[in-house]
Every structure is written in structure tokens, then in C-alpha cells.
Amino acid sequence: MPFMELHARSLWLLTEPLHAVCYFDDGCRALGKDLGLKGFWMGYFASRTAPLGAVEPAAATAVLGVFAPGMVARALPAAWSVVSPAHALDERGSRAAHALRAIDPELERTAAGLLPPLRTIVDEAPAVARPLFAANRALCDHADPVERLWQLATTVREFRGDAHLAVLADEGLDGCEALVLAAASGRVPRDTMRQDRGWSEEEWAAAADRLRARGLVDAQGEATDHGRRERERIEVATDRLAARLLRPLPETAAEELLHTLEPLVRRLLAADVLPFPNPIGLPHLDDPAPGGGDPADR
């Protein structure tokens, strides 16, 4: 695998955990309820899409890619009658920063070395056809260095996510099909993924039937050899598109960024905030064959 594409996958492995505290830390998970919304998922859709403004459900469904339209429509636009996008964003960032500081009290000092290269790759990346990336990039000027670090990691994450959805679309996979194939390949938990993304049993079964007709899953719902090759091909294509992020950095600077991120992420993972397995498809750092950028992200 070319240098930049290999490092693009490593960049995902070392920034996704920073971002993901906003889904798994107890204080972050309480955001929706604390804002007067109806639980975690309403808070999730409000805070995840808030960089785009008071977005309507059809646009949010398209941008997020893998959630059932009805699940999104139960949260939006109703959430905007309770909380403004700006307030949701303030709470999202401050809670994430609080969670990271609780895990690593020395993080502010570490952030000093991480912020310049992350800011460089974010500033230099193209925004065309990358809506969540572009919307999040506009939020990277927080005065608090830990909150700024979290927002930059989030922006990097959304760049890869936008790219991943583009690959899925190019491969002719809709959101439900992408999840069924990811679960059939063992990349995400099969027993909870359907409900977590709001798909009915009938919709899930119909997606499996469509994948079976393409030779991607077998009669038992397991990925075929062809399906596993297709799934890895999708990941490699995602790596190729996400590698654009690292282009502004010299090879030594890219390696230094990853080297600085790794001990921070290992401390975060050691705190057991993120579960394994998890619905974002994030493997342990020491997994010998990690996937990357699965669309089944929270």
C-alpha cells in the first residue's frame, strides 16, 4: 500500500478514538437529555448535524448515509424547536473536551504539538463534495486547546466519512446494504446494528436479499469471499481518498504526527471509554488487519 494511503488508515485509527468520546463518555451521552431532547439519539442527530445549521431530515439522512430516514425524521427538525444548532455545538465541544481532560490531565500540553499539523491538513484539504468536513472545518477556532484538538480530530474524521460514503455510492450500495455487508463481514456487531440505525427487519432482510443477488452474502447472511474482497476494496478506496489529507505534510512530519498521537490514544483506550466491539467499526490499535472508516459510525 502506498505510503500516504497506509498512513491515512493509521490517521483514522489515531483520531477516531478522540472524536468518539462524544458518543461513549457518560457526560457526552447525556447531552440530549440535558438539553431537553428525547434521549441520546435525538441529541446525536442534533449535535452531529448542527455544523450544517438547522438541517431538515432529508438532507441529514443523505449526509449521514446509513441511518433509516424514519429514525432521522423522528429527531429532526423537532430538535431545533428545543435547542439551536449553536447551543448544541457548544455543549458537544465542551463536553468532549471535559471527557478528554478527565482521561488525560496532561492533554493540554500534548495538544501543543498536535494542533499545528492537524490544522495544516484540515486547512489544506479540499471541501468540494465533503459537506460534514466543510461544516466542521469552520468550527476549529476554539480558544480552549483541548476543545480545538477534539474539533480538529472530528473534522479529520468527517473528511474520511464523506469520502467513505462517496465510495459506497460509487459501488452502488445504499445505507442499509452497506451496514448489512459490514455486519456480515464481522466489522460491526451484527446483533445490534440494525436497530441502532433504525432499519426494520423487513428493510434489513430486503437489503440482504439484494446483496445475495450480487454474490456478496450467502444464504446464511455471511459475507462470501467475493463480499469480503469487495468490503476490503471499499476500505482501500476510502484510504486512497482520505490520503489527500496528509498531502501537505512532509513524510517525516506525517510520521511525527502519528507518533505523537499514539500514546495519547493508548491512554484513552486504556480508560475503557470505548467498547470493543463497537458500532463504529474501530479495532484495537494492535489489530493486525484493521478496517477503516466504516460508515456505521455513531
The reply to whether 104 falls in a domain is yes
H helices of the chain, where?
3-24, 26-29, 31-34, 39-49, 57-64, 69-73, 85-103, 107-124, 131-137, 145-170, 175-184, 190-196, 201-213, 225-242, 251-270
Tell me the average pLDDT across 58-86.
98
Q: What is the band of 286 on the pLDDT scale with cuts at 50, 70, 90? A: confident
pLDDT digits (tens, 9 = 90+) for 74-130: 999 999 999 999 999 999 999 999 999 999 999 999 999 999 999 999 999 999 999
Report the number of distinct structural domains present in the chain: 1
Beta partners for residue 223, in sequence order: 217
Q: Please tell me whether the overall predicted TM-score, pTM, comes out greater than 0.85 for this model.
A: yes
Buried b (16+ CB within 10 A) or exposed e, 184-209: bbebbbbeebbebbbbeeebbeebbe
Residue 157 has pLDDT above 90, yes or no: yes
pLDDT for position 3: 64
192: which 3 cell numbers? 445490534
The reply to whether 67 falls in a domain is yes
How far is residue 15 from each of residues 10, 21, 61, 266, measured CA to CA in Å?
Answer: 9, 11, 24, 11
The reply to whether 230 falls in a domain is no
- Lowest mean per-residue pLDDT among 84-98, 114-128, 140-154, 273-287: 273-287
Q: What is the extent of the structural domain holding 87?
A: 3-168+238-269
The reply to whether 53 falls in a domain is yes
Q: What is the band of 221 on the pLDDT scale with cuts at 50, 70, 90? A: very high
The reply to whether 262 falls in a domain is yes
The reply to whether 287 falls in a domain is no
The reply to whether 280 falls in a domain is no
Alpha carbons 236 and 9: distance in angstroms, whole number: 9
pLDDT for position 228: 97
The reply to whether 232 falls in a domain is no
